[in-house]
């Protein structure tokens, strides 16, 4: 019988993965909303470049990638410890 003491570590890793994916999706939506809003204004240079100056959109994306990396590390560690434990 395999030990289940590392299951919480794997659950936390999975939660970080889900949170990371959700936050990246929110970041992409924020950037699209910004580009759509600016396309209705006279200054469409930023819209045509598809570059958002809103720090919030970039912050969501970076935070999401960080959460995914942490989640993967925790999930892999939990699986390794569970199998070798």
pLDDT of residue 19: 92
On the question of pLDDT at 17 being above 70, the answer is: yes
Residue 1 lies in a domain: no
pLDDT at 1 (0 to 100): 40
- The distance in angstroms from the start CA to the end CA of the chain is 10
Number of domains within the chain: 1
Supply the pLDDT for residue 40: 61
* Domain-located, residue 54: yes
pLDDT score, position 50 = 60
Whole-prediction pTM value? 0.68
Provide the mean pLDDT of the chain: 79
For 39, the domain range is 7-84
Give the residue from 9, 27, 31 showing the smallest Cα distance to 66.
27
């Amino acid at each position: 019988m395999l030990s289940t003491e590392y299951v919480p570590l794997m659950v936390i890793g999975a939660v970080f993965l889900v949170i990371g994916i959700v936050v990246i999706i929110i970041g992409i939506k924020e950037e699209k909303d910004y580009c759509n809003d600016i396309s209705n204004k006279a200054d469409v240079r930023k819209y045509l470049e598809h570059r958002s100056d809103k720090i919030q959109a970039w912050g969501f994306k970076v935070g999401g990638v960080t959460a995914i990396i942490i989640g993967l590390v925790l999930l892999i560690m939990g699986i390794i410890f569970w199998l070798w434990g």
